[in-house]
Copies of this chain bind each other. A is one copy, B any other.
C-alpha cells in the first residue's frame, strides 16, 4: 500500500523548525512495509491544504497528516480533511469529557477555543492523546484512509506508536523489511562499482548505496509475506556483500554507528583509549563520548593546540617540533607514544593538521593531516589530504581517525 506524509505548519515553511516528524513517520512506515513516495509540507491555508489532501488521495492509499490540530483559528487540518470528504463535524462527547478532565485536573479554566478539539468528522475513529488535548483521528472512505496526528513530537510519537501502528498493520498482508549494511574505509564510487552487477540485476531484494562523510551505507530491502521470509531473502545478498567487502563492513544490521563500533571493539579487547587532538580540537573526543558508557574505555583526552602543550602534556620533543614541524608524521608519532606511556592507555589516537582557512604553506597546504594510531605496541601514522572548508576538513579528519583506529583494532583479535 502507498502512504504519503503531509506536514502542516507555517513554521515548517519558514524554516523555524526542522521536520523531525516526517523522518520519524517515514522510518516507521518503511518498517511497516508501506511504500512512501511523497512527503509534503503545506502551511495553515485552507485552499492549499485541501489541494494537498485531494492530490494525495489520488496517488496514495493512506495519508498521514501531522500538525494543525490545536485549538487556535490557525489550526484547520481536521476541518480541511472533513471538507475534502464532505463530512460534517460533530461534537464527540467522550473527548469533550476528556478535555474537561484535562483542565480541571490542572485546576484551570477551559479556554473557549479548546472545545473545537472535541469536534470530529462524522464516522471518524477518535484516537486518544495521553499527552495533550488534541485527539488523533482515523478517517476511512472507499478503501482510502486519512490519519490525523498532533504536531508536537511528544504527542505524535507515542500516539503513532501505540495507536496508529496497530491500525496500519491491520490493513495489509505481507511486509517490507529493510536492513542497512555500513562500510568504512572505502569511497562511494568504488563501493558502488563493486556492486554494480547487483544493482542492475535487482528485483527483490533490492540494494541501494548512499554516502555519509567517510562511510558508505547499503540499504537492502525485501518484500515478503513475513519478517522471517524477508530475512531469509536478504541472506544471500548479505553473504555476497561480506565476501566482496570483508572487514570494511562494520555492521550488517545498521544498528551501530562507527563510534559505537570502535567502543565495542575496545571493550571486547579490554583496552582503554586516549586521544590527543590538535586541529580537530576535541571533536573526536566529543564524538567518542556521544556514546553512553564511553567512559568505561575512554579515560583521557587532550586538546594540545599549542606546541607547548604538545611538549608538556605529551612529551613531544622540541627538536621534532623545530625540525619537522607540529604538523608532521614524527609529531603525530610522538604524540601517540606520549599518550600510551604517560597515561597508561592501551590504544591511542593523535591528530595534527591544518584545518584552515589560515596556516597553510606551499609545502604544507590546508587540509594536510597526520593521524597517529597506537594499538598495544603497534604504531601506524598516516598522511591525509582533505579538501573543503574548516568544518569539512575537521569532520573528515574525525571520521578518518575512527576508521584508522577501527582498522588497527580489527587486525588484532580480541
Contact = CB atoms under 8 A, between A and B. Distances in A.
A390 B290 contact: yes
A280 B289 CA distance: 7
Interface stretch (A120-128, A231-239, A244-252, A295-303): A295-303
A292 interface: yes
Interface in A271-305: 275, 277, 279-286, 288-290, 292-295, 298-305
A40 interface: yes
Contacts of A23: 12, 15-19
Contacts of A113: 189, 192-193
Contacts of A42: 37-38
Contacts of A24: 15
A41 interface: yes
Interface in A42-100: 42-43, 45, 48, 52, 70-74
Contact of A219 (B14, B292, B395): B14
Contacts of A282: 275, 277, 282-286, 288-289, 301, 303
Nearest to A209: B72
A18 B16 contact: no
Contact of A210 (B16, B19, B29): B16
Contacts of A28: 15
A25 B18 CA distance: 11
A298 B273 CA distance: 24
Interface SS of chain A: mixed
Contacts of A325: none
A188 B131 contact: no
Contact of A13 (B26, B211, B295): B26
Size band of the A side of the interface?
Answer: 35 or more
B301 A306 contact: no
Interface string A251-272: 0000000000000000000000
A281 B309 contact: no
Given A42-B38, A286-B281, A309-B343, A131 B389 contact: yes
B303 A10 contact: no
Contacts of A241: none
Contacts of A73: 192, 199
Contacts of A41: 22, 38-40
A154 interface: yes
A113 to B, nearest CB: 6
Given A289-B281, A292-B390, A14 B30 contact: yes
A243 interface: no
Candidate in A281, A294, A302 with the most chain B CB atoms within 10 angstroms: A281
Nearest to A180: B16
A111 interface: yes
Q: Which 8 A-B pairs have the closest CB atoms?
A: A281-B289, A282-B285, A301-B303, A15-B27, A15-B26, A282-B282, A111-B189, A39-B41
Interface of A: 9-20, 22-30, 36-43, 45, 48, 52, 70-74, 102, 105-106, 111-114, 130-132, 152, 154, 158, 178, 180, 187-190, 192-193, 199, 208-211, 213, 219, 275, 277, 279-286, 288-290, 292-295, 298-306, 308-309, 312-313, 343, 355-358, 385, 387-392, 394-395
26 contacts: A11-B219, A13-B30, A14-B219, A15-B24, A15-B29, A18-B19, A22-B41, A37-B48, A39-B40, A40-B40, A71-B192, A111-B193, A113-B189, A113-B193, A130-B388, A132-B388, A154-B392, A281-B285, A282-B285, A282-B288, A285-B303, A289-B303, A290-B394, A292-B390, A302-B303, A303-B303
